[in-house]
Amino acid sequence: MTGDGSFERDRTYITTRITADGRDGFPVEAGRYRLVIARACPWANRSAIVRRLMGLEDVLSLGIAGPLHDERSWCFHLDPGGRDPVLGIETLREAYDRREPGYPSGITVPAIVDVPTGRVVTNDFERITLDLGSEWAAHQRDGAPDLYPEGWRDEIDDVADKVYRDVNDGVYQCGFAAGQQAYDKAYQRLWARLDWLEERLAGRRYLVGDTLTEADVRLFPTLVRFDAVYHGHFKCNRQKLTELPALWAYARDLFQTPGFGDTIDFAQIKAHYYVVHHDINPTGVVPRGPDTSGWLSPHGREQLGGRPFGDGTPPPPPPPAERVPRLGRAG
């Protein structure tokens, strides 16, 4: 927290990269690494989406931390015996401590772990998705999209930076504000940016160009969590996502695109925010709503044109072990 009660995110990450040439000591190798995510976490959601879009399921295994944790670490309480079946650990902190004993910063997801040593290689969530789309090219599926095309990178970076500052992190600045003035400033920035996005997406299918890009991958995880947790739990309550015509249609369009909605587990999302954030929700009561069946309703965005995967193709369905529950009505 800053002096005026504003929330300030710790941006200290392990920036080691896994690259095709192995210049940081970690070359891309099929089967060597494990991507650890939590279905609840929006930052981890990005890497789960890109892994799906690139078709890396057979070469980069997926560990899933449960939605509940304490101040020390994410843990694998959903796995048999409470241990990750590949890494053999109960908490993600164990992999961080193997990288640096007494690791002093946040134990965050996503994290990529070197399976032979059990050490975290990187938790730099922004770099992870970019590298999955580029450095892992030799292992990508046929038809994998280019999410960071060279000719659009400046615009992608500009839009993604605005989205990160005011929306991805903006909802947290609202939710964790420790003073009215800090909250009011964050709230105003959030809604000014959401209004900007509503206008931008009214006449175009995707944020940049006519295909899916890294910018869309970065916005979607916040939008899909908005009505379920951010609107009420984080006091981002000027309007619901469902009351913003362009953004709601855009979010449904992405949700129904293979690789996006099939990474979303609303029950785990709500359990994490409403149970773990004791200071915001001390009772730990998890709301029954909202109704999620609307995510599968027609969005009508096809009339705006665009080609979701560019010259590529949709990914196949996720492996059976990675499938999430089907949507249904709340209650």
**Binding positions for glutathione:** 74
Three-point CA angle 66, 70, 73, nearest 5°: 70
**Binding positions:** 74
Superfamily of domain 33-139: Glutaredoxin (3.40.30.10)
The CATH number for 150-322, chosen from 3.40.50.620, 1.10.10.10, 1.20.1050.10, 3.90.650.10, is 1.20.1050.10
Three-point CA angle 57, 127, 54, nearest 5°: 25
- Given a cut of 50, the residues of the chain with pLDDT beneath it are 1, 331
Considering the entire predicted model, what is its pTM? Answer: 0.96
Tell me the CA distances in angstroms from 201 to 16, 209, 304, one per residue in order. Answer: 35, 11, 10
| pLDDT tens-place string over residues 293-312 | 999 999 999 999 999 999 99
The pLDDT of residue 331:
42
- Which residues are CB-contacts of 34 (< 8 A; sequence separation ≥ 6)? 60, 61, 62, 63, 84, 86, 87, 112, 113, 115
Choosing from 33, 41, 230, 250, the catalytic residue is: 41
- Percent of residues in the chain assigned helix, strand, coil, to nearest 5: 40, 5, 50
Annotated catalytic, 236?
no
Choosing from 96, 172, 183, 250, the catalytic residue is: 172
The pLDDT of residue 3:
62
Beta-carbon-side half-sphere exposure of residue 120 (alpha carbons within 13 Å): 30
Domain ranges of the chain: 33-139, 150-322
Annotated catalytic, 206?
no
